[in-house]
Structure 1
Amino acid sequence: MTKPYQNYIRQEVEGATKGKLVLLLYDGAIKFMRIAVLAMEEGKIPEAHNNIMKAQNIVYELMSSLNMDAGEISQNLLRLYDFMIWSLIEANKSKDKAKVESAISVMCELREAWKGVVEQEERGNSSIEAASKSINFAG
């Protein structure tokens, strides 16, 4: 028997646009980094390590999904993702929560920017759908 939350997440992912999937990845990375910071504060080193690794895996996934033909934006994102990976590796080695918090800050800014893109895309699609409904294709 599956739990309602798991069903909700599965449906959210299966029905998500590419833009929304990126938002979900950002949300996951932020969540794991925040858990890692709390674990460091509580001295739970294995838990901190595991959550940093989960966040790193998400950032690697974001890196691999970049369209490098898109130009300067992709290059800039790649540099930011690379910075986050470096911060997380260093944080994991030294158990320095400030480095994780730095990565969280960057990820939150990227998430907000991406959220704006997704919302703009959704408004554009709504406008197209509304316009197509008002056109009489029957003649």
Structure 2
Amino acid sequence: MSTAQMQATYKQNALKTASPGELTLMLYNGCLKFIKQAEQAMSAEQVEERNVYITKAQNIIRELMVTLKTDSEVGTNMMRMYDFALNRLIDANVKNELTALKEAEEIMTEFRNTWKEVILLDRKQRHGVGGQA
């Protein structure tokens, strides 16, 4: 089995065994990865690549929006922030605007960091031990 095949198998197993919270964290991390790649493509003036990566980040945010429960004030506010980040990604793509890309990145980084803390606190409460998320 090649290294690439082993990595693919590992990722597949991680997805199959992840909790819903861990899957959400994976989405945040994936979104941030694509935003970083879009930033690199933007700096290199690679328009097609920038579009591909921004579109992937947008798709992840849309998935987060679809699964978000908005029956509370927190959920409603999160939806607004997701919508703002999504619109900033659209601006970044259409206008080739690094500032808009950075704003979306900041928002998604905050969500990711907060979610990571939630997972760690949940683990500590359920298992009485720390762990890495």
The two structures have a TM-score, normalised by structure 1, of 0.87
- Cα distance, 1:115 vs. partner? 0.4
* Residue aligning to 1:116: 117
**Is 1:76 aligned to 2:74, yes or no?**
no
Larger Rg: 1
- Cα distance, 1:41 vs. partner? 0.3
The two structures have a TM-score, normalised by structure 2, of 0.91
* Residue aligning to 2:127: 126
* Residue aligning to 1:6: 8
* Residue aligning to 1:63: 65
Q: What is the DSSP-based 3-state SS (H/G/I as helix, E as strand, rest coil) of the residue aligned with 1:123?
A: helix
Shift >6 Å, 4+ stretches: none
Q: Distance in 1 between matches of 2:127 and 2:41?
A: 43
Match of 1:24 among 23, 26, 30: 26
Q: Distance in 2 between matches of 1:122 and 1:16?
A: 13
Match of 1:50 among 52, 60, 65: 52
* Residue aligning to 1:134: none
CA offsets, 1:84-115, max 9 Å, x none?
Answer: 11001111101111111111111111111000
Q: Distance in 2 between matches of 1:10 and 1:98?
A: 35
* Residue aligning to 1:136: none
* Residue aligning to 2:104: 103
Over aligned residues, Cα RMSD in angstroms? 1.1
Q: Distance in 1 between matches of 2:107 and 2:70?
A: 20
* Residue aligning to 2:131: none
Structure 1 residue identity aligned to 2:19: T
Unaligned runs of 5+ in 1: 128-139
Structure 2 residue identity aligned to 1:57: N
- Cα distance, 1:48 vs. partner? 0.1
Unaligned runs of 5+ in 2: 129-133
Q: Distance in 1 between matches of 2:24 and 2:42?
A: 27
Higher RCO structure (Cα 8 Å, ≥6 apart) = 1
* Number of residues of Structure 1 aligned to a counterpart in Structure 2: 126
